[in-house]
Amino acid sequence: MVPRIEKCLGMLTPEQVWARGGENENAIGNLVLHLCGNMNQWIGTGLAGRPDTRQRDKEFAARGDVSPKELSDKLAATIADVTSIIRSFPQARLMEKTTIQNYNVTLVEVIVHVLEHFAQHTGQIIFGTKLLTGQDLGYYKHLNQPKHKETTP
């Protein structure tokens, strides 16, 4: 999903990245900040045992103070960090419990939560990008190609 978000960020102007239809909506920029905060909290704190320094409200309060390139870089750095944590995480610990945001969950549930949360917001970013640009993002172009017709020699 990361390349899809990066593609969206690369297609949008800073104004589009921070566009909102209303105050009850989140801009694409807010969603990227939110994904980074979520991964750092759930994986960094939940799995790696780091202190929880997340300020969730700030993710949604941002209003254009981060460029699309900075958002892309922040996302890439966060993904690299949490991927490293997950790859080195001992499988034997997956059924241990932890509490994050007052949820008492197993460590495998932590990973599953982050994956589904990331996919959900990626869909919102894709949808928002399509609305803002009016473009097909081309993720499934290969399915629209004419099929090769087999002929008998």
Q: What is the pLDDT of residues 61-99, one digit of tens each?
A: 999 989 999 999 999 999 999 999 999 999 999 999 999
| Measured CA distances, 141 to 2, 82, 145 (Å) | 19, 31, 7
Distance of CA 20 to the CA centre of its chain: 18
Q: How many CA atoms lie within 13 A of 59 on its CB side?
A: 17
Task: Report, as an integer, the average pLDDT of 23-37.
Answer: 96
Q: Flag whether pLDDT at 152 surpasses 90.
A: no
How many residues are listed for the chain in this entry? 153
Percent of the chain with pLDDT over 70: 95
3-state SS of 21-86 is: CCCCCCCHHHHHHHHHHHHHHHHHHCCCCCCCCCCHHHHHHCCCCCCHHHHHHHHHHHHHHHHHHH
Which residues face 104 on adjacent strands?
Answer: 99
Task: Report, as an integer, the average pLDDT of 10-16.
Answer: 97
Read off the pLDDT band of 149 (50, 70, 90).
Answer: low
| Measured CA distances, 101 to 42, 50, 66 (Å) | 9, 15, 26
Integer Cα distance of 5 and 7 in angstroms: 5
- State the amino acid at position 68 in one-letter form: P
Strand, coil or helix: 6 = helix
The domain covering 2-144 belongs, at the CATH homologous superfamily level, to dinb family like domain (1.20.120.450)
106-116: pLDDT as tens digits = 999 999 999 99
